[in-house]
Amino acid sequence: MKTVFFDIDTQIDFLYPAGALYVPGAECILPGVAGLNRFAAAHGIPVISTTDAHSEDDPEFRSWPPHCVVETPGQRKPAATLLENRIVVPNRACEFSVEGARQTVVEKQTLDVFDTRNIGRLLERLGADMYVVYGVATEICVKRAALGLLKTGKPVILITDAVKGIDPGDCARALEEFQAAGGSLGTIGEICESLP
């Protein structure tokens, strides 16, 4: 069974108190996210890392404070979450190859990774039988990614000790919605023990 890990928006602007759109407590999940990405690399599991990549006048900034502007420190992923042999797939028509890539960084300008131009082709090329999802923020981008992946008809596991959200009530509702749609919850330990 081919598994693909989805590392959602673990970027400096979201993860740290000094970030432009800090998710409270998100720095606490960083060791878990980094560990999951390293586990994936060690076991030949592809990692898709979504990243916001906004322009300075991005339309999203009408709804949210400016964050993750391209080429700013806040837009970067912490080094601990990056793997060697990675590629970046921008949100525009382009050719890309996942051959030999351990990590594919998918750039996006909206809350939902399924709004990007290349996600369908990327998933098709990877041919996963199951998805594992973690990152920030639980009730926003993580929820949208997890529900979108469920629509592929493949099992999706959301790692509860490697996600962080903004509002506890909204997070609880997001997890309930995800489970009601057929998703499963798990922990870092459970997923690492269950995969070869």
Domain that holds residue 122: 3-194
Domain count, the chain: 1
pTM of the complete model: 0.96
Distance CA 146, CA 183 (A): 8
Q: What token pair was written down for 51?
A: 């990243």
Q: What are phi and psi of 143, to 5 degrees?
A: -60, -45
Task: Give the pLDDT of the chain (196 residues) as one tens digit per residue.
Answer: 899 999 999 999 999 999 999 999 999 999 999 999 999 999 999 999 999 999 999 999 999 999 999 999 999 999 999 999 999 999 999 999 999 999 999 999 999 999 999 999 999 999 999 999 999 999 999 999 999 999 999 999 999 999 999 999 999 999 999 999 999 999 999 999 998 7
Which of 153, 148, 154 lies closest to 177 in space, CA to CA?
148
Domain with residue 160: its CATH number is 3.40.50.850
